[in-house]
Amino acid sequence: MACCTLTAGAVLLFLFLNVRQNNADGPDTSEHYLVESFKCINNTCIASKIVSAEKKNSGIDGSVDVCRLTCGSYGSLWPRPTIKTAIEKSVIEFSVDNIKFDTSSVADQLGKEYMTEVSQVFISSLKKLCIPNCVSYDNTPIISISTSTPFGYIKLTTNESYNLKISTEGNQIFVKIEAITVYGARNGLETVRQLIATYGSNASGKKLVIAGNVQISDQPIFAYRGFMLDTSRHYFPISTIKKQIDAMGHSKLNVFHWHATDTHSFPLDLPSAPQMAKYGAYSHEEKYSYKDIKDLLRYALVRGVRIVMEIDSPAHAGNGWQWSKASGYGEMALCVDKGPWRKYCVQPPCGQLNPINTNTYKWLGKIYKDLISAFPKGEAFHMGGDEVNLKIKNPIQLQMLFYMLLKIGCYKLLELYS
């Protein structure tokens, strides 16, 4: 095998030197280069070297992304479809400006409006592939989308399955997506996005191609496919969170668990409880407005992602609550930032809600009411419940702490984590 490799390398070097010698003898003084060419061999895209007059192979075989589209049983699809996948080897060029969407078979008007927004995200993603520009083609992709149920907000029981068929006839590319819900249709369109790649170069112009003959039936194995981000211990700008949600949409993850508050900070600027962010955010700039929260909910929904927000309590509650005593509400949080921390909490900084102060419940109610008003009706809400400090000497406080946990539905979590 090593001998064959050395022989092939020697032949390639001889051909390369011979081309250069011929150029020296004749009028052609152009330089030649060894460039990569990709070919699917045994379900893997393998690179080889070929002689070219260009420094980079701008042909279709010069793109590993195009090779991967149809290489192997699943091409470049992720996650892999679970029911049926058939991808033939053909690809066809097209122009993003020629794409047409047909949503006439989407079940209702709200569903049509949702799919229009999803389509805009799809087109925006393709245009990013074309930076700085793509070559224009007459081929026209027609993407037909149908659903059978009215629009509803995504939840744990939402059907996200879809069927996808791509075929070509002349200069037309037919893409047909059938789904029960708009979220299944969105997943189908995301799969179409994964079946598109570019080849060429900035100098010669990039070319968009799509797999030309595809049949896929797919549904997720897990209903809850989540990612958690902690914005209490470390603040992330909204723009960064949106990038994470973009990545989730591309990977068909559907739950963004937003661990919004903890003892470290309370960055939510809520209309009914502005004091929480005023005293709890790391700075005036490092907080999320009520408008930010609503905007992020819509942004995520269009990418097939639910947001489940967590307001950690009754433990893990400190910074953001420390203003209450000076404002006449008594101590609504105990042991905030106290030390040595091992005496007062499981991890620093310390703090947990005061169960015998009735104002604690009133202000929790204000926080919950604001968030419930912003989120879709019936959406899940996470209340934390872990790592409560039970080393409380006051028996009334201990009794009320159990009452608080029962009141907010965290008693089972107390049994698990304390």
Position 355 scores a pLDDT of: 83
| Structure token digits, residue 177 | 């997506």
Radius of gyration of the chain (CA): 29
Calpha distance 158→118 (Å, rounded):
17
pLDDT category, 30, cuts 50, 70, 90?
low
pLDDT category, 314, cuts 50, 70, 90?
confident
Active site residue 160: no
| Structure token digits, residue 256 | 């963004």
Full set of structural domains in the chain with CATH: 80-218 (3.30.379.10), 226-407 (3.20.20.80)
| Structure token digits, residue 70 | 């149809």
Position 386 scores a pLDDT of: 78
Neighbours of 10 (CB within 10 A): 10
State whether residue 125 is helix, strand or coil: helix
**Cβ-contact 310, 231 below 8 angstroms:** no
Calpha distance 238→217 (Å, rounded):
35
Position 273 scores a pLDDT of: 97
**Cβ-contact 265, 250 below 8 angstroms:** no
Calpha distance 63→37 (Å, rounded):
8
Using one digit for the tens of pLDDT, what is the confidence trace for 38-58? Answer: 999 999 999 999 999 888 899
Phi/psi at 124 (5° precision): -60, -40
State whether residue 314 is helix, strand or coil: coil
Position 18 scores a pLDDT of: 53
Peptide bond into 27 cis (omega under 30): no
State whether residue 200 is helix, strand or coil: strand
Does residue 332 register a pLDDT over 80?
A: yes
Calpha distance 345→316 (Å, rounded):
9
Angstrom distances, CA of residue 317 to CA of 19, 277, 300, 381: 74, 13, 27, 17
Q: Which phi-psi region, left, alpha or beta, contains residue 378 (left: φ > 0; alpha: ψ -120 to 50)?
A: left
Residue 363 one-letter amino acid:
W
Angstrom distances, CA of residue 62 to CA of 52, 172, 198: 11, 25, 10
Does residue 10 register a pLDDT over 60?
A: no
Position 98 scores a pLDDT of: 96
Choose, from 36, 113, 331, 387, the residue flagged as catalytic.
Answer: 387
Share of the chain above pLDDT 90, in %: 74
Position 404 scores a pLDDT of: 60
Calpha distance 297→179 (Å, rounded):
23
What average pLDDT score do residues 166-173 get? Answer: 95
Average pLDDT, the chain: 89
Nearest Cα residue to 219 out of 191, 197, 258: 191
Does residue 191 register a pLDDT over 80?
A: yes
Position 402 scores a pLDDT of: 58
Dihedral sign, CA of 410, 413, 417, 418? positive
Position 396 scores a pLDDT of: 56
Residue 384, CB-side half-sphere exposure with 13 Å CA sphere: 23
Position 4 scores a pLDDT of: 46
**Cβ-contact 36, 48 below 8 angstroms:** yes
**Cβ-contact 208, 85 below 8 angstroms:** no
Element containing residue 414 per DSSP (H, E)? helix 411-417
Nearest Cα residue to 200 out of 98, 96, 68, 57: 57
| Structure token digits, residue 401 | 């702490």
Using one digit for the tens of pLDDT, what is the confidence trace for 76-116? Answer: 999 999 999 999 999 999 999 999 999 999 999 999 999 99
Residue 304 one-letter amino acid:
G
Position 408 scores a pLDDT of: 52
More confident of the two residues 3 and 296: 296
Instruction: Give the burial class of 251: count Cβ atoms within 10 A of its Cβ; 0-12 exposed, 13-18 middle, 19 or more buried.
Output: middle
Q: Helices marked H in 251-380 — which ranges? A: 274-280, 290-302, 358-374
Instruction: Write the DSSP string, 95-150.
Output: -GGG-EEEEEESSSHHHHHHHHHHHHHHHHHHHHHTSS-B-----EEEEEEEESS-
